[in-house]
Chain A
Amino acid sequence: MRKPLGLLLLSLLLAPEVWAETPEIPLVIKDHRFEPATVKVPANTKVMLVVENRDATPEEFESHDLHREKVIAGGKTAKIAVGPLKPGTYKFFGEFHEDTAQGAVVVE
């Protein structure tokens, strides 16, 4: 019973190379700001936001519109799967520095 379960779990970890085809969109956090502040994404497409935190301190990428929140340690990069999205503007922010870290995903 344990062996097949273990294999299943392992395959779950290794499986998602389906994401290898997902277009990656880079985003940088620097001086507690997002660069670029506006990210363009094609409609009805799954994309992978690749967020690089160039600050020394952690930041939490958060978006109510996209239903995503992820803490990114200082100097590290994190991937956030997003979409497929209908056309519109989806705001996101850095929860630890909300006054300066603001941005939006514009889907067209």
Chain B
Amino acid sequence: MLSALIIVFREVLEAALVIGIVCAATRGVRGRGVMVTLGIGAGVVGAVLVALGAERIAALAAGMGQELFNAAILLTVVVMLGAHILWMSRHGEALARDAGRAGESVRTGQKPPRILAALVGLAVLREGSEVVLFLYGIAASGATVGAMFAGSAAGIVLGALVGLALYSGLLTVPSRHLFAVSSILLSLLAAGMAGQAAKFLIQADYLPALGYLWDTSWLVSNDSVSGRVLGTLVGYEAEPAGTQVLFYLAVIGVLVGGTWGVQRTRRAPVHP
């Protein structure tokens, strides 16, 4: 039961952290609760479908289908996060200013980007498909199913609680800073996911590793809880491949550059 708990907890934790940050970043945006819930629901359905099709997916691309699929999902989420971050940098300051007041203008003015639901859905799908596969395997084996499912349920609850804790913690950030803090957190999330995508592409032998730059497993191991949390939040990798670092830096560079570009456009005088 303990092994089921640990394995399920780690996957749910990663999805919950993403959801927690996205929710905190969109505080005050009308309808975002619905969007996030829809996303989670769609993600769960998607995870089941992916788990069902796992064998077919894995067999694609000479047996590397699973890696390519994971990389594709991650990179799609990276692009969506990037689009959302840039959207925030256009509208975010207004949101941050008004989120403190119960201003109707904010609540009615800003539509929640549908991309939110898709983003959350994909994050849940990716982590969820591994959970579903694992649970299905346990069920198929038959032995001590009750204890395994109890452990899994506990893992889901614990993972969700950590996500909730992160969300609550972020809510204590003063409204005027929330926009900047959220942008940074989402950017690090995106960069970390790009790094993970690189890892999958390296494993699938699509990209060269370009050497392994350092090994800090003695400090924080990838598989430890703190390693997983850091891995999701800031893209921590104990032994990163050169290509992984490149992907990470590239995303940071594009987002910093893109946000700067958007800010410049906003500040430029408008000629009627």
A interface list, Cβ under 8 A from B = 12-17, 19-20, 46, 48, 55-58, 64, 67-71, 73-74, 76, 78-81, 95-96
- Which residues, 89 to 140 on B, are CB-close (under 8 Å) to A? 130, 133-134, 136-138, 140
Which of A19, A57, A69, A80 lies in contact with B137, CB distance below 8 A?
A57
- Complex: chain B residue closest to A13, CB-CB: B61
- Interchain CA distance A15-B141 in the complex, whole Å: 36
- Complex: chain B residue closest to A62, CB-CB: B223
**B62–A70 touching, CB < 8 Å:** no
- Interchain CA distance A57-B206 in the complex, whole Å: 29
Could you say which residues of chain B place their CB within 8 Å of the CB of A73?
Answer: 54-55, 133, 136-137
**B140–A56 touching, CB < 8 Å:** yes
- Inter-chain contact total with CB atoms closer than 8 Å: 72
- Interchain CA distance A67-B199 in the complex, whole Å: 9
**B141–A56 touching, CB < 8 Å:** yes
**A16–B58 touching, CB < 8 Å:** no
Which of A13, A19, A76 lies in contact with B205, CB distance below 8 A?
A19
**B239–A67 touching, CB < 8 Å:** yes
New A-B pairs, 12, CB < 8 Å, besides A16-B205, A19-B205, A70-B66:
A12-B206, A19-B63, A58-B134, A64-B217, A67-B212, A73-B54, A73-B133, A74-B137, A76-B55, A76-B58, A78-B63, A79-B64
B60 interfacial by beta-carbon distance below 8 Å: yes
B68 interfacial by beta-carbon distance below 8 Å: yes
Q: Chain B contact residues (Cβ within 8 angstroms of A): what range?
A: 20 to 34
- What is the CB-to-nearest-CB distance from A90 to chain B, in angstroms, rounded to a whole number? 13
Which of B54, B62, B65, B138 lies in contact with A19, CB distance below 8 A?
B62
Could you say which residues of chain A place their CB within 8 Å of the CB of B241?
Answer: 67
**B63–A57 touching, CB < 8 Å:** no
Could you say which residues of chain A place their CB within 8 Å of the CB of B263?
Answer: none
**B61–A16 touching, CB < 8 Å:** yes
A13-B141 in contact given A64-B239, A67-B239 (Cβ < 8 Å) = no
B202 interfacial by beta-carbon distance below 8 Å: yes
- Interchain CA distance A81-B62 in the complex, whole Å: 10
B185 interfacial by beta-carbon distance below 8 Å: no
Which of A13, A57, A68, A80 lies in contact with B68, CB distance below 8 A?
A13
Could you say which residues of chain B place their CB within 8 Å of the CB of A20?
Answer: 62
**A81–B60 touching, CB < 8 Å:** no
- Interchain CA distance A85-B64 in the complex, whole Å: 20
**B3–A96 touching, CB < 8 Å:** yes
- Interchain CA distance A12-B67 in the complex, whole Å: 13
- Interchain CA distance A16-B66 in the complex, whole Å: 14
**A70–B203 touching, CB < 8 Å:** yes
**A74–B141 touching, CB < 8 Å:** yes
B209 interfacial by beta-carbon distance below 8 Å: yes
8 cross-chain pairs, A with B, having the tightest CB-CB distances, nearest first = A79-B63, A56-B141, A58-B137, A81-B205, A16-B62, A19-B62, A57-B141, A74-B137
- Interchain CA distance A20-B227 in the complex, whole Å: 36
B220 interfacial by beta-carbon distance below 8 Å: no
- Interchain CA distance A95-B202 in the complex, whole Å: 20
Could you say which residues of chain B place their CB within 8 Å of the CB of A58?
Answer: 133-134, 137
B204 interfacial by beta-carbon distance below 8 Å: yes
Could you say which residues of chain A place their CB within 8 Å of the CB of B68?
Answer: 12-13
Could you say which residues of chain B place their CB within 8 Å of the CB of A16?
Answer: 61-62, 64, 205
